[in-house]
Amino acid sequence: RGSDAGDQFCALTGELAQQEPPPAARNDSGLPEDQISTAEWVSRYTKNERVHGIFRNMCASIFAVGSEDLPARVFLTYFTRKSAFKRFGFHPEGTIGLWRGLAGVVESRGGEVWLSTAATRIVSDGGGVTGVEVIRDGEKVSVAAPVVVSDVGPAATVKLLGEDKVPTDYQDMVKKGDRPTAMISVNFASRSRLVDVPGMLSFATSRRLAYIANFTDTCPEMAPPGWHLYVGTAVPKPSIGDFDEAVETELLLEDLRDNIDGFDERARILSIAVTRDDWPPQRAVAGFDLPHDTPFAGLWNVGDAVKEYANGGTTACAETAALVVDKIIAR
């Protein structure tokens, strides 16, 4: 919110989200160096707090990290070359709908999808993987597999392999890249319409609130008849490392009260989700992702710790899966 700030945002990014990138952006010569953060880059051009707020909340919305921790080069590359919300939508069943669709394809081709099954070990013979061990229905089950694809992130994958079996240089690389971000989301519903904007509403001036998503304007089937479903989301400060969960959550709630009339009386809070540490919104800050490949033949990582440069969110995770599938087929 704030038209002047919005104008400055578009001016600073060269209206990159709507137009073809300039030649300098296409050959990288116009992009800032890797070391400078988005917040530092914006500070070179303006001290306007609303402009800084737009950039901060865009970093939070797309990359689940604060602008002080996201390289400016990543942010600008996203707007010049990546999706940048050019095509965007909600699955009518929520994110679980994507997984149901994937499971349906697996099962339609003779595969099985095991739920509530914890992986406890990735088995290797030194040079490659040979299978996995899982706990299913309370019993240990060994599954032989020449190919294993891990979606839990490289750090957790190393633990499943056993650190004593993993080369030291790879362990060091994984530890360096293991910088999960954090996010706080308030899921709420109401009988009356609280937000007049369909889709996502981003903010320029807020304590922590990055955006409010209005699900039911686009997908009314996500809520019972007569109900409206929303989520208000923020990244804490700091967005990497430890933070005061209670204080940061209260700052988000204060923002919701400021921006939605009668929030406490009209909204029913369904849940407050704090994603961090071992269950983060992103396991690696964009621009610092690790490679898909591992030192073990047949073992690959996919997901939010091995994203392609300057991509983020569910789109980036799906992209890693497609790339790894191509590598597996090419073996």
Residue 240 backbone phi and psi in degrees, to 5: -125, 130
**Rounded Cα distance, 92 and 36, in Å:** 39
Q: Does 280 sit behind a cis peptide bond, omega within 30 degrees of 0 on the bond before it? A: no
What is the arithmetic mean of pLDDT over 326-330? 95
Q: Are 17 and 81 in contact (CB under 8 A)?
A: no
Residue 11's pLDDT is: 57
- The residue among 94 and 245 whose pLDDT is bigger is 245
Q: Give yes or no for residue 26 having a pLDDT over 70.
A: no
Alpha-helix runs per DSSP H in 64-191: 72-81, 95-108, 154-161, 168-177
- Number of neighbours of residue 202 by Cβ within 10 angstroms: 18
Q: Give yes or no for residue 49 having a pLDDT over 60.
A: yes
**Rounded Cα distance, 26 and 117, in Å:** 46
Residue 117's pLDDT is: 97
The full DSSP string for 194-219 is: ---SSEEEE-SS-SSEEEEEEHHHH-
Q: What are the structural domains of the chain?
A: 29-84 (no CATH), 96-179+285-330 (3.50.50.60), 183-275 (3.90.660.50)
Residue 83's pLDDT is: 60
Q: Give yes or no for residue 21 having a pLDDT over 50.
A: no
Half-sphere exposure of 216 (CA within 13 A, CB side): 22
- The residue among 130 and 14 whose pLDDT is bigger is 130
Supply the mean pLDDT for the chain: 89
At 312, the pLDDT band (50, 70, 90 cuts) reads confident
Residue 35's pLDDT is: 80
Alpha-helix runs per DSSP H in 178-279: 215-218, 245-259, 263-266
pTM of the model: 0.84
**Rounded Cα distance, 281 and 273, in Å:** 11
The full DSSP string for 289-307 is: PPPSB-SSBTEEE-STTSP
DSSP annotation of 105 reads: H
User: What pLDDT, in 10s, does the model give residues 145-185?
Assistant: 999 999 999 999 999 999 999 999 999 999 999 999 999 99
Element spanning 322, H or E: helix 313-329
**Rounded Cα distance, 258 and 310, in Å:** 33
User: What pLDDT, in 10s, does the model give residues 82-140?
Assistant: 665 666 676 888 888 989 999 999 999 999 999 999 999 999 998 999 999 999 999 99
Record the tokens describing residue 260, joined without a space.
């939605």
Q: Give yes or no for residue 19 having a pLDDT over 70.
A: no
